[in-house]
Every structure is written in C-alpha cells, then in structure tokens.
A and B are shown apart, each in its own frame.
Chain A
C-alpha cells in the first residue's frame, strides 16, 4: 500500500531534477523551414540594413539593445521569411516566421534549448500568430494567450513576431 506512495513521491522529487538540465530539441533545419515557407518558389536571400532609427525601434520592441547592423531574410514576391533567435530565460530559441500581405502566415520553432516551456512549438500556440499584423505602437493586433510555465518563452516569441512584422514592412516598402 505504501510502496506506490513512496515511488510516486520519489518520481515527483526526481522529475524536476531530471528536467532542470538544458535540452536541445531541433524541430526543423533552416533548409526545411525555407521549403515550408516557399514550397513553390526559390526565395532570394536579402539583407535589411538596420539604420539608427530601425535599431531604436527594434530595441523598443525587443526590450534590449539590438546591435546587429544587418538582418538577413528570404523573399519571394511580397512574402518574406525570417529566422531569428531570442533568449527565453537562459537559452536562445531559434524561430522562423513567414510574413505575407495579410500578416504573419507561419510561425515555427526551429530549435528550443530551454529546459521548460517547449510547448511554444505546439500548433495550438503558434496558430495564434497567423494573420497577426501590427497595430499602434508596434504591438500585435491581438492578444496572445500565455502558457503556464512558459511565460518567458511566450514573451520571446511574441516580441520577435512584432519585430519581424516591423522589419517586413520596412523590407517591402524599401
């Protein structure tokens, strides 16, 4: 009678210890993501130069200093694809975005390295971004539901979604 209780208690104690180490889950390679983004066309690699104004805006969106001088993206027609990295809590999350005239078309997590919060790669979460555009103040036009235990990862993906939409607008207008 007491054995299942002890085993259950031990498992409860050991589970957090086992999951406390950093994981490294690669869901998609860059090439796989680009095929997913542009199944019928070959996109062109392009660069957007991060001038001082754009860098300031990016810093406001990302809530940190943005120091890169250029950002690469892939473009076919009026659709663009972006592969970006942002830290959730400790480790960077590599994510891919496809943006078209109607806003965000696809969001995929390419590599997830945090020990917790990997649910952000699930479709129920990434689906929320589809069709999202920027509203006033470089904010998304819709709220993104949080995931319990993955708040920082959710915030990271949301921030990058806002930045990608801003960069897409700049890329298309330029």
Chain B
C-alpha cells in the first residue's frame, strides 16, 4: 500500500516536472533578467517602437512645444532634455523653460530649469554644469533687465546667484518670461522616429514579463497557477523523499 502511494507521488512529481518545464525556464530567465536590469540600470532605459506602443496602449512621447534659444531647440522627451534631436541629460521632472544666459562666462550659455535642477549648456550641445537646489514647483523662467535668471514658482519669485549657486527671494517686478512655442514640423518628425513610451522602461517590460502582466489578466493567472504548481512540485518531491526514508 505504502509503495503504491509512493509510486503515485513519484508519477505526479514527474508529470508536474514535465508540465512545468517551460514555465520554470521562462520564470528563471526573466527572474535573472530582473537582476541584470538592476545592474544595467534598465529602470532608466526607455522602450521605443510601434509594437510596444500598441501592446501597452501608450502613445509615444513626442514633444509638441519647446524653447528656441539662439537657433537651437530645447524640449523634453522621455524624461530627457533634448537639444534639437540629441538627448543631453536627464530631465525627469518638467522642463520649466530654457533661456539664453550670460552667466560668469563671456560666451553665451543656455540656462534650462528641469524640476529642481538648473542646467547650464553651451550652444554646441555641451552640458557645462548641473546645479541642484532650484526652488520646486517652477512655473516660468525669465531674465530681468540685468540678465539675471528669475524663476517663478507657486510660492514666489527667485533669483539665481551664480556666485553662491543659490536661489534667493526676488521681490522686484519686470522679468521677461520665456514661453514655450510649437516645435517645427521637421524637428517633431525626427523626434517621433525614436520616441520613447512615457512611463515604460525596459525594467518594467521585464517585470511585466516575469509576472505575466504583459499578457493581460490571463497572463497573470497563468503565472499564478504555474507558481502554485511549482510549490506542488516541491511538495511531491519532499513527499517521495520522505517516503523513501521511511521505507
């Protein structure tokens, strides 16, 4: 009786192992990819392409407007600051504005505020400096009559002091604000060619693959059932081992 019960468990164990071969290989591979994702910084690598766009139902991020500074166009696409069609640096929060700026150098610069970072750029698409600590909630960026950078936020106006690198309260009126304007069609078409999907990183795709969510609710259930069967596989394995020891 004991032998036949053990035989039954072994048979179950074998069939389960066979049935779970592909799910286990799939989950192991995607599980390893999750670890690789962390090493390779895939959480910051955007996903592009029409296939992914239609799969996720997310339209690609193509900026409509930007800032024209000395024949250069600055815009924000996929969490990056775009200098014409070149991705310069990360700009995860909103691009408040970009303005021409003299600064401490003789050559003209471009100042852009991304969230709480002030970026000083050269006209050759070089990133001169990234300075953190800009007041949060920036709404508009402009210059006063002395060429000083003025940032308008919900809580007030601030002036950038390049000597200290800090933003100070600014009470005076009369700053010249810069507004976003529509990007030229040709530039927008170029940006659309490699447009990333907003909020979808390569890590997100790997996680969705691993959890089955990439294939909708059914995919999630398949992975759940596979996981439960894997637990059963382990239990049948332990049971057959214990039976052998008892014998």
**B151, chain A: closest CB distance, angstroms:** 15
A-chain residues with CB within 8 Å of residue B132 when the two chains form the complex: 83, 85, 92, 94, 111
> Binding site of B, secondary structure by majority: helix, strand, loop or mixed?
mixed
A-chain residues with CB within 8 Å of residue B116 when the two chains form the complex: 111
Selected contact of A68 from candidates B41, B43, B129, B166, CB within 8 Å: B129
| Interface hits, A139-155 → B, CB 8 Å | none
**A135, chain B: closest CB distance, angstroms:** 24
B-chain residues with CB within 8 Å of residue A69 when the two chains form the complex: 122, 126-129
Compute the total of residue contacts between A and B using a CB distance below 8 Å: 49
Asked if A67 CB lies within 8 Å of chain B CBs, one says: yes
**B112, chain A: closest CB distance, angstroms:** 14
A selection of 15 A-B contacts at a CB cut-off of 8 Å is A24-B136, A29-B133, A30-B165, A34-B164, A67-B88, A67-B89, A68-B129, A70-B129, A71-B129, A72-B129, A72-B131, A83-B132, A83-B165, A92-B132, A111-B116
Interface residues of A, Cβ cutoff 8 Å to B: 24, 29-31, 34, 45, 64, 67-72, 83, 85, 87, 89-92, 94, 110-111
Beyond A30-B133, A70-B128, A94-B133, 15 extra complex contacts between A and B, CB < 8 Å: A24-B136, A29-B166, A30-B165, A30-B166, A45-B163, A64-B41, A67-B89, A68-B129, A72-B165, A83-B132, A83-B165, A85-B130, A87-B44, A92-B132, A110-B133
- Top 8 A-B pairs ranked by shortest CB distance? A85-B132, A69-B128, A67-B127, A30-B133, A94-B132, A30-B166, A70-B129, A68-B127
